[in-house]
Amino acid sequence: MLENCILLSLFAKENLGRMSEEQLNRYDRLINEPSNDWDIYYWATEAKPAPAELDHDVLAMLREFAKNRNREQRLRQPDLEY
């Protein structure tokens, strides 16, 4: 879904480079394990609680990113870098 594509790609661009290997594994599980993309969106926006096994530091980072406290305009995915 478009909302997750924008949210997750911008989050990844900003955060993946500084995550530990363990955090990268948790992020991978967070974005690939749920069978419903809406669940990820609801957890990130705190509309619904996440299951305990996915409620970790990386989800907390994603939740903070989703709040967009700087009111950045986030209308599209970042450009691909080679």
pLDDT in tens, the chain (82 residues): 788 989 999 999 999 999 999 999 999 999 999 889 999 999 999 999 999 999 999 999 999 999 998 888 887 788 777 6
Q: Tokens 């700087």 appear where?
A: 70
Tokens matching residue 79: 């450009």
pLDDT for res 78: 81
Rounded to two decimals, the pTM is 0.87
56 Cβ neighbours under 8 A, 6+ residues apart: 26, 30
How far apart CA 67 and CA 79 sit, in angstroms, is 22
pLDDT for res 21: 98
pLDDT for res 42: 96
How far apart CA 46 and CA 36 sit, in angstroms, is 16
